Copies of this chain bind each other. A is one copy, B any other.
Amino acid sequence: MQLMETEMRIGELAARARVSTRALRYYEEQGILHSERTPSGQRVYGSSAVERVRLIQHLFSAGLASRTIALILPCVDTGHAPPEMLSSLHAERDRITTVIADLEQARRRLEQVIELTEHPTVEQCEIATDATSRTSVIVGASA
């Protein structure tokens, strides 16, 4: 079977999108990635599938479940959603927003530790010798 220039089989897509072939078959099983088939049954993808898989990866790494992704991908494709889905979309957006906030808070804490370790200050040295106020300095920094 001869493929078009812009077409590829599962191995090439996996290499280009930096995922395993198993993951791609799993995505298809979950209904979030579709493929054409050759007469003999091998999967064929267009070149746009690379971006598609990257998007899926982003959504996964964003903590979305495959069912949620299956829910919103068609909306992303068509650019609109059935009105009864709007509440789910709002809920997902809000969930993402709080996760981002949590992540930013965690990152700030990490950066404080990095900063203090790389550039210890006089203040920091005083703190280090004053056991009673240790936890209130960094842990309490978000209050």
The segment from A9-17, A24-32, A34-42, A109-117 found at the interface with B is A109-117
| Contacting residues, chain B, for A48 (C-beta < 8 A) | 135, 139
Majority secondary structure, A binding face:
helix
**Total copies of this chain within the assembly:** 2
User: Which chain A residues numbered 45 to 80 have a C-beta less than 8 Å away from chain B?
Assistant: 48, 51-52, 55, 58-59, 61-64, 72, 75-80
Q: Flag if B114 contacts A107 (CB, 8 Å).
A: no
A100 contacts B104, CB within 8 Å?
A: yes
- Report if A3 contacts B (CB, 8 A): no
Q: Chain A 113-143, CB within 8 Å of chain B: the 1/0 string?
A: 1101110100010011000001101110000
Total count of chain A residues near the partner, CB < 8 A: 52
Is A134 touching B97 in the complex (CB atoms < 8 A)?
no
- Name A65-104 residues within 8 Å CB distance of B: 72, 75-81, 83, 86, 89-90, 92-93, 96-97, 99-100, 102-104
Q: Check B77 against A135 for contact (C-beta < 8 Å).
A: yes
